């Protein structure tokens, strides 16, 4: 059942869909701008696949963040339609200056700015829907192309089809529900699927089940079951985190040896009785390790699990191989997938190093927040991930939000994470990082549970004090 808020969001998404269809009909190359994380890459993949199937053309750029200079440069490009996915809602004032049509398909907190007529702004927050939990950037992009090309009673959307043959093609091929799993890959990338899907994500899940390319079954949620030795599968499992095992190769080896299991064997090669023993012991560490697993059928076994798919895209994005990630989202396998798996192996090694570093160093605690800081080249790319996992695996306190800070020349990149429990107590990291960063000439924002910022290095200490004060205010006035 679709609720009124969801219906309003779908109606807005359909407005964006009509704009996209009209530009495809006019043979205009569509400019796609998206984020470099798993959600943004999935979003770009959803849009590009849909446009490609309609016979349209697209030009895609992936950015780590949407800076004013990026917007200024893009505004000078001669494209007639820009789509901003998983970004854009915080930059409405600047995007209002575009002369071209714009579709913004984002799920982050939007700026309090009225959009001009050339912008179709698709964002769940505009309709009272939680964009940090109920729908991702890829999900918002999916809604925007969900009815692309579908023939409607009042007329046609998409390319004009005059012949019966073309109309038959419209009815048969333009249901975009086959892209629902890729949209949910993005949701996993933004930590929205680990406890099951709710809200609009649940609607997208039903689309995938209806189309027949999405399957749900109960299983252990350890990663790389068919491709890595068992001890690595366990150590590389980030969500749900396994205290004492996640990020710890030696700890995982010892854990398996105590059970009499070979740590070098793959999970898929275990006997059924051995799998049951392993399952029982892992559940003792974290009951969430066994539950619903979402799979794409048919799909390469490495990409079949939606969450693992998101890990591969994320590794590519973090290592600046966004073109490779996009090619996989567009259906390339073989050499592209082999290259991506090599990058993922390197990234996992970085994560292990990062977890070892956190075990040694811990966090710096203030009264209402904690933070970690590094200038190490390898650690910079994994700071946000390792801090999230460290809280989940109880290496760090889960009673305070954590800011992960990495030096970038004259600036500091900040990744903030907190827990659902702290959000319920009033914490809104997106607002805290947005307001604090502006005070020092930086920029930031995001969700209540996860946000980011970029600030001048010289202001780092003052920034931390202000964020600490803001979090205190949020908790005391909720």
Residues 6+ apart with CB under 8 A from 354: 247, 378, 379, 382, 383, 385, 386
166 and 19 in one domain?
Answer: yes
Domain count for the chain, please give it.
3
Query: In this structure, how many other beta carbons lie within 10 angstroms of the beta carbon of residue 195?
Result: 14
How many C-beta neighbours within 10 Å does residue 55 have?
12
pLDDT at 446: 85
CATH of the domain at 107: 3.90.1640.30
Q: Give yes or no: residues 311 and 369 share one domain.
A: no
The C-alpha atoms of residue 354 and residue 274 are separated, in whole angstroms, by: 31
Given a contact cutoff of 8 angstroms between Cβ atoms, the answer to whether 138 and 108 are in contact is no
447 and 371 in a single domain? The answer is: yes
pLDDT at 150: 67
Sheet containing 402-408: order of strands:
364-365, 370-374, 402-408, 411-417, 450-456, 443-446
**Do 401 and 260 fall into the same domain?**
no
Of 183, 211, 239, at which residue does a domain stop? 211
CA-wise closest residue to 70 among 464, 454, 463, 347? 454
Kindly state the greatest CA–CA separation across the chain. Answer: 70
Residues 234, 253 contacting (CB under 8 angstroms): no
CATH of the domain at 413: 3.10.310.40
Looking at 354, 374, 396, which one is the last position of a domain? 354
Between CA 123 and CA 104, with CA 153 as vertex, the angle to 5 degrees is 15
Same domain, 22 and 60: yes
Pair (104, 80) in one structural domain: yes
Domain check: are 76 and 192 in the same one?
A: yes
Does 344 share its domain with 374? no
Q: Please tell me whether residues 188 and 97 are part of one structural domain.
A: yes
Q: Are 181 and 296 in contact (CB under 8 A)?
A: yes
For residue 178, the 8-state DSSP code is G
Q: Which of 298, 322, 354 is the last residue of a domain?
A: 354
Domain range for 148 is: 4-211
* Claim to verify: residue 345 and residue 426 sit in the same structural domain: no
The whole-number pLDDT of residue 158 equals 41
| Residue 277 and residue 228 share a domain | yes
Residue-level pLDDT, tens digit, the chain, 478 residues:
678 999 999 999 999 999 999 999 999 999 999 999 999 999 999 999 999 999 999 999 999 989 999 999 999 999 999 999 999 999 999 999 999 999 999 999 899 999 999 999 999 999 999 999 999 999 999 999 999 986 443 344 443 333 333 443 444 344 799 999 999 999 999 989 878 899 999 999 999 999 999 999 999 999 999 889 999 999 999 889 999 999 999 999 999 999 999 999 999 999 999 999 999 999 999 999 999 999 998 888 889 999 999 999 999 999 999 999 999 999 999 899 999 999 999 999 999 999 999 999 999 999 999 999 999 888 888 888 888 889 888 889 999 999 999 998 899 999 999 998 999 999 999 999 999 999 999 988 888 888 999 999 999 999 999 999 999 999 999 8
Question: Which neighbouring-strand residues pair with 63?
Answer: 35
Count of beta carbons in the 10 Å neighbourhood of residue 79: 18
Residue 159 C-alpha from the chain's centroid: 31
- Could you tell me if 327 and 419 lie in one domain? no
């Amino acid at each position: 059942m679709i609720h009124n808020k969801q219906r309003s969001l779908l109606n807005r998404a359909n407005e964006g869909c009509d704009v996209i269809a009209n530009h495809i009909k006019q043979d205009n190359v569509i400019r796609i701008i998206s984020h470099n994380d798993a959600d943004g890459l999935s979003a770009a993949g959803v849009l590009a696949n849909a446009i490609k199937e309609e016979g349209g053309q697209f030009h895609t750029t992936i950015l780590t963040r949407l800076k004013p200079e990026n917007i200024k440069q893009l505004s000078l490009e001669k494209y007639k339609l820009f789509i901003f996915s998983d970004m854009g809602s915080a930059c409405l004032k600047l995007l209002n200056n575009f002369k071209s049509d714009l579709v913004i398909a984002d799920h982050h907190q939007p700026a309090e700015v009225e959009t001009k007529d050339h912008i179709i702004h698709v964002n769940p927050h505009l309709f009272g829907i939680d964009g940090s939990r109920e729908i991702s950037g890829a999900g918002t992009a999916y809604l925007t192309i969900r009815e692309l090309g579908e023939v409607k009673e009042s007329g046609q959307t998409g390319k004009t089809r005059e012949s019966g043959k073309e109309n038959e093609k419209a009815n048969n091929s333009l249901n975009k529900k086959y892209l629902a799993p890729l949209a949910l890959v993005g949701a996993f990338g933004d930590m929205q699927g680990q406890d099951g899907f709710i809200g609009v994500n649940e609607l997208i899940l039903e689309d995938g089940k209806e189309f027949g390319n999405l399957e749900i079954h109960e299983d252990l949620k350890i990663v790389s079951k068919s491709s890595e030795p068992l001890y690595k599968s366990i150590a590389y499992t980030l969500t749900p985190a396994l205290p004492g095992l996640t990020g710890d190769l030696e700890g995982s080896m010892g854990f398996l040896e105590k059970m009499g299991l070979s740590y070098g064997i793959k999970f898929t090669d275990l006997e059924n009785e051995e799998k049951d023993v392993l399952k029982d012991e892992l559940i003792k560490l974290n009951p969430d390790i066994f539950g619903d697993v979402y799979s794409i059928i048919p799909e390469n076994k490495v990409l079949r699990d939606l969450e693992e798919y998101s890990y591969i895209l994320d590794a590519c994005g973090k290592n600046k191989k966004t073109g490779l990630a996009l090619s996989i989202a567009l259906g390339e396998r073989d050499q592209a997938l082999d290259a991506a798996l090599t990058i993922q192996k390197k990234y996992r090694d970085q994560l292990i190093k990062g977890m070892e570093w956190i075990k040694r160093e811990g966090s710096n605690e203030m009264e209402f927040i904690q933070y970690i800081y590094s200038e190490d080249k390898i650690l910079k790319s994994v700071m946000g991930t390792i801090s999230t996992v460290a809280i989940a695996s109880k290496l760090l306190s889960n009673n305070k939000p954590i800011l992960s800070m990495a030096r970038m020349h004259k600036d500091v990149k900040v990744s903030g994470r907190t827990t659902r429990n702290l959000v319920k107590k009033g914490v809104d990291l997106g607002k805290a990082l947005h307001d604090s960063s502006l005070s020092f000439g930086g920029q930031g924002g995001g969700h209540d549970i996860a946000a980011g910022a970029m600030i001048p290095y010289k202001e780092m200490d003052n920034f931390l004090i202000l964020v600490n004060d803001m979090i205190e205010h949020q908790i005391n006035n909720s």
